[in-house]
Amino acid sequence: MPRLISTEIAGRIEDLYGAPLAVLEAHAQGQPPGMLAALLAGHHDLAFAEQSITFHRERLAQLVHPERQIGVHEVSHVLECARRLAEAVAIRDVQAKTVSAVLRSLGRVEGPEPSPAPAPAAAAAVPTPPVRATSAAPTR
């Protein structure tokens, strides 16, 4: 059985949010759309594409079984099934790439290395002398 990318993605979502997928899905139901909702939708689409791949692969294997005769009518079914299989694989690959990229961008990041202590000021600023107010009366 081929490995399911959706299972790996589900595990990464659970690790990121610290809860099982079922709990996260229930929590996201009453919330406004956000990153969690987007990740769950991407996971759902990915899982659906994988189910479609399995279905069309099995159907194609039935259609081209060695004991089965392939006539003009069956050829169109074989071609259509192969087209749908290729489409499901393309969708799965795009969804996996997109959701994985988003998950990588949300991963925990190590804090920046502490910067060295600032060097002491070379010279203290010289205070500016106060400005004297003049009380001279205006001349005409």
Lookup: tokens for 86: 């290729």
Assess if residue 128 is contained within a domain: no
Regarding pTM above 0.75, the answer is no
Asked whether the beta carbons of 140 and 50 are under 8 A apart, the reply is no
Assess if residue 139 is contained within a domain: no
* Domain containing residue 59: 5-105
Assess if residue 32 is contained within a domain: yes
Asked whether the beta carbons of 13 and 73 are under 8 A apart, the reply is no
Four-point Cα dihedral 80, 83, 88, 93, nearest 10 = 170
Assess if residue 119 is contained within a domain: no
Lookup: tokens for 112: 């920046």
Assess if residue 135 is contained within a domain: no
The DSSP code for 67 is T
Assess if residue 123 is contained within a domain: no
pLDDT of residue 71: 86
pLDDT of residue 140: 47
pLDDT of residue 103: 92
pLDDT of residue 57: 96
pLDDT in tens, the chain (140 residues): 567 899 999 999 999 988 999 999 998 888 888 899 999 999 999 999 999 999 999 999 999 998 888 888 889 999 999 999 999 999 999 999 999 999 999 865 443 444 444 444 444 444 454 555 455 555 54
pLDDT of residue 107: 63
CA distance 70 to 14: 47
The count of domains in the chain is 1
Furthest-apart CA pair in the chain: how many Å?
121
Assess if residue 88 is contained within a domain: yes
Assess if residue 87 is contained within a domain: yes
